Structure 1
Amino acid sequence: MRSAVVTDAGDRIRWAELPGRGPVRVYLHGLGASSAPYFAGVVAHPLLAGHRSLLMDLLGHGISDRPEGFAYTLEGHADAVAGALVAAGVEGAEVVAHSMGGSVAVVLAARHPRLVSRLVLVDANLDPMAPRSGAGGSSGIAAYPEEEFLAGGWREVRDRVGAHWWATMRLAGREAVHRSAVNLVEGTVPTVRELLLGLSIPRTFLLPEADGPLCGADGLVASGVDVVAVPDCGHNIMLDNPEAFVRATAAALMG
């Protein structure tokens, strides 16, 4: 385990690090998750192994600190990751990022371009969305006022998301989960999609084949983003079909 101070208050991001050759690969998890449980199995696969790899937990999540005063915006998450990468001596990283982590990765690449050389986005959030009471995921969490979520709304979320997601969500700070969800559904200005379109580095977007055509895929492809549908999986592609995930990710990283 490694760590770096990333806020003026002394809060630390932590990550599990595997030694190896460059370029460095950085793995970022989604809302309420943690990178090691989601990525360790695929990182060890022969097609991906051998690179220096940082399985990094965003502030408020997993083994990283959970500051109650942090805003947990996408920009704040991205800047914190940037601070950790600088402390780790990393430039030009290949970033593989799932869901909300994909949104953070796009913002990271836009705000700190020397730190990122390539993106593999795993069913990432690209567009703002409306909060929806009772829904699963970030839109349902964002529908709660923060005080209501902290006072007990989190228990309703726990019961909705199920034991698998809750296994890592329970490790996250409750302020972190709520504020991250609110900021994720609000998005950024320009939007994450617009930021992604404006990047000049190699970019790949993986999505579950069963979800059908990706919204706005034509625009992404026209800007140079490779859009790859992965069979036999849901949102957690690396867990649902690790072999297909590894093949698609390895191809993206070698392309």
Structure 2
Amino acid sequence: MTADDDRIRWVELPGREPARVYVHGLGATSAPYFAEVATHPLLAGHRSLLIDLLGHGISDRPRGFDYSLESHADALAAALTSAGVGGAELIAHSMGGSVAIVLADRHPHLVSRLVLVDANLDPMPRTPGSGGSSGIAAYSEQEFLTDGWQEVRDRVGAHWWSTMRLTGREALHRSATQLVRGTVPTMRELLLGLEIPRTYLLPEADGPLPGADALTAAGVSVVPVPDCGHNIMLDNPQAFAHATATALADHGRP
């Protein structure tokens, strides 16, 4: 619950500590995206929270919230604290990865490891007519609430819309707008400065990750995953589970 009594909700799987927290991307919800991999034999057995960010999925959708990455991170921190979670291993996709980086920077006691799944690290241009956050952010909020959401629905297709339709419309637009704006310092710069174990998973087909050399030099493991697109955990769950288990291994024990 936030200071304004808005509730973040999650699906919880029992198991041993440290807890693992799975965080979805823009217009998504964690259970459909992560349930298969969270229960995979390589990853099962830990207490796992498949959590929905404010405005998304089964969480509340306050219309007065600004949905900045910092505010998302602080709301997530309040939820994890209320759940008795500390030193968690975060597995976070896309926008959720950006939120996880900010969470680790602002609330370091809550995060012990990061596995970022094709996460946004840099500000992006607003691109009218494109899919995803850059296209959503190209609308003014009023344009999006009036007609733009229908255009986005038709562009993103049935799969993404099946969870995006659960997102509050103000939440969707503001989250996208804040994501393309990014943070100061940028998410990439924050990631470089963290001292916890960090892994970045990306689709192998996308080619080299921009700035990978600097990330590697700072101790971030950059891991290409074959046979997948942006939704790595859905497209190739076996390879995702293997890469994530390796990233979370402690002296060889996942």
Please give the range of the TM-score, normalised by the shorter of the 2 chains.
over 0.9
Counterpart selection for 2:155 from 151, 155, 160 = 160
Cross-structure match for 1:26: 21
1:225 is matched with: 220
Separation (CA, whole Å) in 1 of partners of 2:183 and 2:133: 15
The alignment's TM-score, normalised by the length of structure 1, stands at 0.97
d(CA) in 2 for partners of 1:155 and 1:41? 30
- Partner Cα separation in structure 2 for residue 145 and residue 132 of structure 1: 12
Q: 1:42 aligns with which of 13, 27, 37?
A: 37
Matched AA of 1:26: V
Unaligned stretches of 5+ in structure 2? Answer: none
Alignment equivalent of 1:15, drawn from 10, 26, 31:
10
d(CA) in 2 for partners of 1:156, 1:51 = 41
Gaps of 5+ in 1: none
Residues 1:81 and 2:76 are matched in the alignment: yes
How far the C-alpha of 1:78 sits from its partner, in A, is: 0.2
SS of 2:20 mapped into structure 1: strand
Per-residue deviation, residues 131-157 of structure 1 (Å, max 9, x unmatched):
000011100000000000000100000
- Identity level (%): 76
Alignment counterpart, residue 194 of structure 2, candidates 183, 199, 202: 199
Asked if 1:71 is matched to 2:66, the reply is: yes
Question: Hey, what's the Cα distance between the residues in 1 that align with 2:39 and 2:182?
Answer: 33
SS of alignment partner, residue 136 of structure 2: helix
Find runs of 4+ consecutive structure 1 residues off by over 6 angstroms.
none
Partner of 2:54: 59
Aligned residue pairs total: 250
| TM-score (norm. length: structure 2) | 0.98
Task: Give 1:36's aligned amino acid.
Answer: A
Distance in 2 of aligned mates of 1:55 and 1:152? 32
Rounded to whole Å, the distance in 1 between the matches of 2:28 and 2:194 is 26
In 1, Cα distance between the equivalents of 2:179 and 2:222?
22
Matched, 1:122 2:117: yes
> Counterparts of 1:9 and 1:27 in 2: how far apart (Å)?
24
Q: CA deviation at 1:17?
A: 0.4
SS in 2 for 1:12: coil
Q: CA deviation at 1:9?
A: 1.9
The amino acid of 2:65's aligned partner reads F
Q: Distance in 1 between matches of 2:5 and 2:222?
A: 39
Q: Does 2:99 match 1:104? A: yes
- The one of 179, 185, 190 aligned to 2:180: 185
